[in-house]
Amino acid sequence: MTVFLLAVCLVISPEWAPPIFVAILALELWKRYRDSTRRERNDHEVLEFMFRLSTRKPLTEAVVSEELERFPCLTRFARGFRKTGKLALPNFGWRSLVAAMAIRSALETGDSSVLTKALEQISQREEAMVEAGSMLASQKYTLVASIAISSAILGVASSISGQNYLYYVVAQSLLSALWLKFFGGNFYESLSLSVPLSLTGYFLAARLV
């Protein structure tokens, strides 16, 4: 859809294509960031669901469905169980994936301690992720600074030469978001940082020169 809208803009009004492209890209990124944030929030919510399940004995599919009803982001899975008699479990991210595997194992074996062990594994992984993120923090901030500086340089070059380097700035911000993701964090969260920073540096430098 984004590509189609941009193609229409190029045909109707080529001179307005760059700002319209940026606006369309920003809207698309905002939608994806919103969806990604919601999935991340729901993924964390599954942990509370797991805590509740670990206290229920005996554990059955009906009990799982009952607990699903208590969480707004999980109620659709409970409705699906009532309609079909088949239990579907959420997959919002790595936490809910581990949770789903543990729940199925607990239902098959009748051993609810599997849930407690899965929660411990999730907690250990989250601690490791926090430690890794803190170790890479300085590299992350260095990359963020380089994004602003390189975009400002392109803004100065655009002001002097009269060329439009906006596409290069956007491409650079996308690549930077990938690097920021490697340093820890959500891809769309990284985009929400790199794209505005790149565009701000570019336009400010272009106006001040």
Is residue 106 scored above 60 in pLDDT?
yes
Structure tokens at 59: 């554990």
Of residues 68 and 139, the one with the higher pLDDT is 68
Report the alpha-carbon distance of residue 119 to residue 171 in Å, rounded: 40
Structure tokens at 127: 């601690």
Structure tokens at 55: 């206290």
Structure tokens at 178: 């990938």
Structure tokens at 196: 């505005």
Q: What is the pLDDT of residue 144?
A: 74
Report the alpha-carbon distance of residue 37 to residue 33 in Å, rounded: 6
Long-range own/partner contacts, residues 155-160 (CB < 8 A, 24 or more apart): 155/201, 155/202, 155/203, 155/204, 155/205, 155/206, 155/207, 155/209, 156/205, 156/206, 156/209, 158/202, 158/206, 159/205, 159/206, 159/207, 159/209, 160/209
Residue with tokens 């990284």: 190
Residue 206 has phi, psi (to 5 degrees) of -65, -35
Structure tokens at 66: 């009952």
Is residue 189 scored above 70 in pLDDT?
no
Are the beta carbons of 52 and 101 closer than 8 angstroms?
A: no
Report the alpha-carbon distance of residue 6 to residue 35 in Å, rounded: 23
Q: What is the pLDDT of residue 11?
A: 58
Mean confidence (pLDDT) of the chain: 79
Q: What is the pLDDT of residue 76?
A: 92
Percent share of the chain, pLDDT over 90: 10
Q: What is the pLDDT of residue 56?
A: 83
Of residues 111 and 67, the one with the higher pLDDT is 67
Of residues 183 and 155, the one with the higher pLDDT is 155
Note the pTM of the prediction, 2 decimals.
0.63
Query: What amino acid occupies position 61?
Result: E
Is residue 47 scored above 70 in pLDDT?
yes
